Amino acid sequence: MAAPPQKKAFPLRIDPALYAAIERAAAGDLRSVNAEVECLLREALARRGVKLADPVRAKRGRPPQNQTAQEDDDGE
């Protein structure tokens, strides 16, 4: 399975009051400020008709066990 693409990091200068509002919105949505900004940008672009691919989400939970590990657990 291919690794998800790296996210682009860049500095963002933002008004402190706007940052505080985003921070409150993020807390209400149980997101990080970064995830909230990304979500808001996607929503704004969608309203303008800009089509984006769905975000690549990291797999959650335990990784699948390989066959040899399962056989060892069964005592075989």
Q: Please report whether residue 33 resides in a domain.
A: yes
Q: Please report whether residue 26 resides in a domain.
A: yes
Q: Please report whether residue 63 resides in a domain.
A: no
Give the range of the structural domain holding residue 48, as residue numbers without chain letter.
14-54
Number of domains in the chain: 1
7, pLDDT greater than 90: no
pLDDT in tens, 31-52: 999 999 999 999 999 999 998 8
Phi-psi region of 33 (alpha: psi -120 to 50; beta: other; left: phi over 0): alpha
The pLDDT of residue 54: 81
The mean pLDDT value for 11-32 works out to 96
Helix boundaries (H) for 9-66: 16-28, 33-47
d(CA 61, CA 59): 7
Q: Please report whether residue 24 resides in a domain.
A: yes
Q: Please report whether residue 23 resides in a domain.
A: yes
d(CA 59, CA 2): 12
Q: Please report whether residue 7 resides in a domain.
A: no
The pLDDT of residue 68: 58
Q: Please report whether residue 67 resides in a domain.
A: no
Burial of 37 (0-12, 13-18, 19+ CB in 10 A): middle
